[in-house]
Amino acid sequence: MDALLIKATEDTPHISFDPSTGVLEISGRSLPEDAAGFYKPVLDWLKQYAPAAKVGSALAMKLEYFNTASSKVILDIFNIIEKITLDKKVIWYFDKDDEDMQEAGEEFSEIVNIPFEYKTY
């Protein structure tokens, strides 16, 4: 399976998923109006990856901004990660002064059954 690499634009995030290491990273800003369209290849990749996932797969979410259209798709992403039966986690990054982003991570963690780790930058 190939790695997934999508370059950041002014309103979409950088995406870098490496199936050989299990390091999955989404970073930057996620503000597309058509979030479902933008994330379609991301969800497709993850659905293929999940059954053969690496032990200790870690999804690093380093988002500066995300819109509500993206928040639904982020939940879809977590729902796929949740189905990985092996050890996995989400690492939720937030600016130490950004309470809204911290809270957003905590809320996602209350909805899905995945261990969340929090890191500030």
Sites of contact with another protein (CB under 8 A): 10-11, 31, 33, 36, 65, 67-69, 71-72, 75-76, 79, 95, 97-101, 107, 110-111
Closest to another protein by CB, 49 vs 108, is: 108
Quickly count: other Cβ atoms within 10 Å of residue 86's Cβ: 12
Query: Within a 13 Å sphere around the CA of 98, how many CA atoms are in the beta-carbon half?
Result: 18
Closest to another protein by CB, 44 vs 99, is: 99
Closest to another protein by CB, 2 vs 10, is: 10
Q: Which amino acid is at 18?
A: D
DSSP single-letter state for residue 33: S
Least CB distance from residue 113 to another protein, whole Å?
13
Least CB distance from residue 66 to another protein, whole Å?
9
Least CB distance from residue 116 to another protein, whole Å?
15
Q: How far apart, in Å, do the first and last CA atoms of the chain sit?
A: 32
Least CB distance from residue 80 to another protein, whole Å?
12
Report the SS3 class of residue 73: helix
> What is the Cα–Cα distance from 65 to 2, expressed in whole angstroms?
28
Closest to another protein by CB, 25 vs 98, is: 98
The answer to whether the CB of 2 falls within 8 A of the CB of 19 is: yes
